[in-house]
Amino acid sequence: MKKILTAAVIFILAVNVSAAQEWLTLSRAMEETLKNNFFINIARNDSAVARNDNSWGNAGALPAVDVSAGFNTAVNNTEQRFNNGNVINQDGASTDNLNATVRLNWTLFDGMRMFAAKSRLEANEEMFSFRLKAEIENKLSELITAYFNVVRLQQSLKVIEETIRINDERVEIAKVRFETGASSKLDFLQAKVDRDARMSEMLRLRNELQNAVATVNLLSGFTEFREFYASDSITFQYQPQLNEIYSSFPSRNAEMLTAGSNVRIREKLVDEYRAWRYPWLTANVGYSYSRNENEAGFSLFSQNQGMLAGLTLSWNLFNGFNTGRQIKNALIQKSSASLMLDATRSAISQQIAVAYRKYEADKAIVILEESGLSFARENADISLEAYRLGSISGIQLREAQISYESALNRLIDARYQAKLSETLLMKLNGDLVR
| Extended strands (E) in 83-160 | 87-109
107/2: higher pLDDT:
107
Q: Which residues pair with 107 in a beta bridge?
A: 282
Query: Distance between CA atoms of 378 and 383, rounded to whole angstroms?
Result: 8
Domain ranges of the chain: 2-36+110-279+315-428
89/262: higher pLDDT:
262
Band (11; pLDDT cuts 50, 70, 90): very low
For residue 293, the one-letter residue type is E
Residue 337's alpha-carbon distances to 269, 320, 340, in angstroms, are 12, 27, 5
Residue 259 CB neighbour total at 10 angstroms: 23
Query: Distance between CA atoms of 22 and 314, rounded to whole angstroms?
Result: 71
119-135 pLDDT, tens digit per residue, is: 999 999 999 999 999 99
348-386 pLDDT, tens digit per residue, is: 999 999 999 999 999 999 999 988 888 878 777 777 778
Residue 252's alpha-carbon distances to 134, 352, 371, in angstroms, are 11, 13, 37
Answer yes or no: is pLDDT of 5 > 80: no
What rounded mean pLDDT belongs to the chain? Answer: 86
pLDDT of 85:
67
DSSP assignments along 40-78, one per residue: HHHHHHHHHHHHHH-SHHHHT-S-EEEEEEEEEEEEEEE
pLDDT of 110:
93
Q: What percent of the chain lies above the pLDDT cut of 90? A: 58
Which SS3 state, helix, strand or coil, does residue 222 take? Answer: coil
Answer yes or no: is pLDDT of 148 > 50: yes
Torsion of CA 294, 295, 298, 300, to 10 degrees: 50
- Cβ atoms of 250 and 263 within 8 Å: the answer is no
Answer yes or no: is pLDDT of 167 > 70: yes
271-327 pLDDT, tens digit per residue, is: 999 999 999 999 999 999 888 877 666 667 788 888 999 999 999 999 999 999 999
Answer yes or no: is pLDDT of 35 > 80: yes
- Cβ atoms of 294 and 301 within 8 Å: the answer is yes
Q: What percent of the chain lies above the pLDDT cut of 70? A: 91
Q: Which residues pair with 72 in a beta bridge?
A: 97
The string over 83-96, giving b where at least 16 C-beta atoms fall within 10 Å of a residue's C-beta and e elsewhere, is eeeeeeeeeebebe
| Residue 167 main-chain phi, psi, to 5 deg | -65, -40
Query: Distance between CA atoms of 80 and 89, rounded to whole angstroms?
Result: 6
- Cβ atoms of 399 and 166 within 8 Å: the answer is no
397-425 pLDDT, tens digit per residue, is: 778 777 888 888 889 999 999 999 999 99
> Out of 188-197, 211-220, 259-268, which region has the weakest mean confidence (pLDDT)?
188-197
Residue 357's alpha-carbon distances to 61, 148, 245, 267, in angstroms, are 53, 21, 13, 38
Answer yes or no: is pLDDT of 3 > 60: no
DSSP assignments along 357-422, one per residue: HHHHHHHHHHHHHHHHHHHHHHHHHHHHHHHHHTSS-HHHHHHHHHHHHHHHHHHHHHHHHHHHHH
Query: Distance between CA atoms of 264 and 341, rounded to whole angstroms?
Result: 11
pLDDT of 83:
67
Answer yes or no: is pLDDT of 153 > 80: yes
- The CATH number of domain 2-36+110-279+315-428, selected from 1.10.3210.10, 2.30.110.10, 3.30.70.1380, 1.20.1600.10: 1.20.1600.10
pLDDT of 10:
44
